[in-house]
Structure 1
């Protein structure tokens, strides 16, 4: 007789996922963002955008950004050392491992975080990423980094050879300083909204909050924080008292020099900082802000709303539109502009310290395409300017083909176009314009050329 079977065991309930220890999620997110940017060609901005809102604590958001930016800026030092310490070359599937090691290296080296916290959280992140078999390797390599440090390396090595050669040819005496500056974090520049508060009064608010700031005599609305702080900690930020904008970008409004009550076209307006600055300077301004990508319009509108400038839009004096500036027939009302601000799309080689993934993603063909697009924009907006009006051409590039050469070619083909000299407060003389070099005076690299249309 067959023995009776024991009763079937009830299925085991799935164990809830164990919550991660404090700080581990930030390291997991940092590794995933770095893996996407370094190994899969993704944009740093697009990768961070969905991740940051998922971290409820602003300190975690600030730490994530600090780790990722420091890892990308220091990658030219970290990667050779890490690969040399590995007993065998990493495999095709080891992108997440290398990204986590970059994140750990940045914490120990650039950010100088307490070693025990950085090591423990990064090793635990290896397990959370599904790589428990590599947790010991992560621990060993980061402990070696802590003990031995990373050997000094020329910051120029972070730049692809083709781009490095162009910068060295254009600025032989200053190239090394620009490469070094691009490997360092930038200071935080603020633009005080003069329609809401005087700069000195806002500086006093910063002092009371324990935030040290400095004034640059070239910039009427700016304050520089050599030690950046989270935006959420800036007094009155949500109320529009102040915005974050580099000093070089703030100078664009000065270089344009629009007259009070002028009718101004901001031809490439996103994210809206220069449009807001124009309106903060002149409440009587009539402004049309264009942006090619309609997905970026909410960013411009939010900038204007926070700064208390949407009432100008309600009055009809300020318009924000999705439109292609090279196709005026689709959006122009036939009335000439007194001034045109053309902050043209460019290689962004002057802002590498703020967008370090540029060095990973930029290609020679990109420069050629950008130069052609800039020329089309210049030719399209020039006829919309009234006789006697001014056009400011600006980029955040340090390459002459996008800057001095571009404007020189435009002047040769545009009847009645005359370059107006700008003072040396805007940087080095560069053909018909001025060039501030990357990191110079604590500012981003930027080019300005003001062109007047003869009456």
Structure 2
């Protein structure tokens, strides 16, 4: 529905569209949306995130419509992004006006405005932007022409797979090859935002405690496992009871399996490599009283581990952190073997695109080979730190086999002392009866023989 009339503390839709275009422009220039959004004024950030996410989830279609309607796009990157945002919003507005209301959880995230509101507010953006004013008539003409000619343009646009599936052509090809029976479902699921799942800190609360607090606060939620709760709709963390008290942490159901799969007993020496921002670190410490070392190469992200552990009350003397490269043990390892190692290695993050829709447009096909090579280097290095009888869990938030099963098989071939144990393997983010319940992840667990 349209935004209510402007209020001094509430952004107008034209403000939101302009800031969204600036963020989409940043993504198209190679910057992550999270970084870009961090510079967006706080009053605008929520509405801009919703519109920018929506545009990036529909970028393939918006691009193709633009190419069909504008033979020569002006050489102004902000105008190009503004046109893409406007077309994405307009297509949704027309579709909503022509079809029955859809109140399913998968559709609640979609920003829907009246058709005339989208056109007026998008064109209104240009009035306050001197460098865009030469293109006002073009923007107005394209949007109004699309309203009149939509059926034919949409049919033509969807002949392009990038427009039909809203993913790069190479990404579509890779999934089609790897999952011949599921590739279309995977592409569709990637455009449905993931639910907000809370992992309950058993050291401070129980699922029952948190469910009661949520009910008292009027927040709808369901218990999704013995350790987790899923909210009906995402909320800012400080609007949810128990966050500051360390009762829970936000963590997807697939990511929660990492600490559950590692064999942990009190007193173990544990390594969490590539640990930031510390969600899995905290989960390990919630499960058992272990001596833990957390590594990360980024000092700022390492600081987030300290902050997260402090909030949940697990930042004691039994935890240490180091800013170091996991692939270079000589720079940080004291040669005392670890009993358990979590190797949550860098990857393309292809399994979490439903939460980060910019990823599909930022990645290049060559990134798969590059990250796979880096992963191999890291897990080979980390294996040297595992003591006899110890375990290493290889984990990635990817659905590309090169960063999953292929990597695990190659590792086992390189290391005769690595015995593969039961683990989930590839978890695919497919739509089920309750929606897409978890992100895409891969897990392989290895034991070190004598």
Q: What pairs with 1:401-416 in structure 2 (closer than 5 Å)? A: 401-416=402-417
d(CA) in 1 for partners of 2:264 and 2:127? 58
What stretches of structure 1 of length at least 5 have no aligned partner?
1-18, 427-433
Deviation at 1:353, TM superposition (A): 1.6
Question: Residue 89 in 1 paired to residue 72 in 2?
Answer: yes
Task: Note if contact 1:188-1:225 (Cα within 8 Å) is conserved in structure 2.
Answer: yes
Larger-gyration structure (1/2): 1
Question: Residue 301 in 1 paired to residue 306 in 2?
Answer: yes
Superimposed CA distance per residue, residues 398-419 of structure 1 (whole angstroms, 9 cap, x where no aligned partner): 1111111111111112132100
d(CA) in 1 for partners of 2:113 and 2:204? 38
Q: What pairs with 1:358-377 in structure 2 (closer than 5 Å)? A: 358-377=359-378
d(CA) in 1 for partners of 2:137 and 2:251? 43
Deviation at 1:27, TM superposition (A): 2.5
1:50 pairs, out of 39, 61, 64, with 39
d(CA) in 1 for partners of 2:232 and 2:84? 25
2:22 pairs, out of 32, 42, 45, with 32
Task: Note if contact 2:389-2:447 (Cα within 8 Å) is conserved in structure 1.
Answer: yes
For residues 208 and 337 of structure 1, do their structure 2 counterparts lie closer, same or farther at Cα, with a shift above 3 Å needed?
Answer: same
d(CA) in 2 for partners of 1:229 and 1:77? 29
Question: Residue 244 in 1 paired to residue 250 in 2?
Answer: yes
Question: Residue 221 in 1 paired to residue 212 in 2?
Answer: no
For residues 212 and 401 of structure 1, do their structure 2 counterparts lie closer, same or farther at Cα, with a shift above 3 Å needed?
Answer: same
**Which residue matches 2:177?**
169
2:449 pairs, out of 448, 451, 454, with 454
For residues 204 and 105 of structure 1, do their structure 2 counterparts lie closer, same or farther at Cα, with a shift above 3 Å needed?
Answer: farther
1:438 pairs, out of 406, 426, 429, with 429
SS in 1 for 2:192: coil
Question: Residue 74 in 1 paired to residue 63 in 2?
Answer: no
For residues 212 and 320 of structure 1, do their structure 2 counterparts lie closer, same or farther at Cα, with a shift above 3 Å needed?
Answer: same
**Which residue matches 1:3?**
none
Task: Note if contact 2:37-2:45 (Cα within 8 Å) is conserved in structure 1.
Answer: no
d(CA) in 1 for partners of 2:266 and 2:87? 52
d(CA) in 2 for partners of 1:325 and 1:304? 21
For residues 101 and 223 of structure 1, do their structure 2 counterparts lie closer, same or farther at Cα, with a shift above 3 Å needed?
Answer: farther
d(CA) in 2 for partners of 1:34 and 1:320? 35
d(CA) in 2 for partners of 1:256 and 1:146? 55
Q: What pairs with 1:378-397 in structure 2 (closer than 5 Å)? A: 378-397=379-398
d(CA) in 2 for partners of 1:135 and 1:306? 50
Moved more, 153-162 or 326-335: 153-162
Deviation at 1:137, TM superposition (A): 4.0
Superimposed CA distance per residue, residues 94-128 of structure 1 (whole angstroms, 9 cap, x where no aligned partner): x2123123333444524113556544443332223
User: RMSD between aligned alpha carbons?
Assistant: 2.4
SS in 2 for 1:50: coil
d(CA) in 1 for partners of 2:201 and 2:247? 5
Q: What pairs with 1:51-450 in structure 2 (closer than 5 Å)? A: 51=40, 54-55=41-42, 57=43, 60-86=44-70, 88-93=71-76, 95-108=77-90, 109=92, 110-115=110-115, 118-130=118-130, 131-142=132-143, 148=150, 151=154, 153=158, 157-217=165-225, 220-282=226-288, 284-310=289-315, 312=316, 315=317, 317-422=318-423, 426=424, 434-440=425-431, 441-450=436-445
**Which residue matches 1:6?**
none
What stretches of structure 2 of length at least 5 have no aligned partner?
1-7, 93-109
SS in 1 for 2:334: coil
Deviation at 1:49, TM superposition (A): 2.1
For residues 192 and 122 of structure 1, do their structure 2 counterparts lie closer, same or farther at Cα, with a shift above 3 Å needed?
Answer: farther
> Which TM-score applies when normalising by structure 1?
0.84
Deviation at 1:273, TM superposition (A): 0.9
d(CA) in 1 for partners of 2:421 and 2:170? 33
Superimposed CA distance per residue, residues 50-93 of structure 1 (whole angstroms, 9 cap, x where no aligned partner): 22xx32x3xx321111111110011112222233334x421222
Moved more, 384-393 or 364-373: 364-373
Deviation at 1:289, TM superposition (A): 0.4
SS in 1 for 2:442: strand
For residues 96 and 266 of structure 1, do their structure 2 counterparts lie closer, same or farther at Cα, with a shift above 3 Å needed?
Answer: same
Deviation at 1:324, TM superposition (A): 0.8
d(CA) in 1 for partners of 2:170 and 2:342? 31
For residues 224 and 48 of structure 1, do their structure 2 counterparts lie closer, same or farther at Cα, with a shift above 3 Å needed?
Answer: same
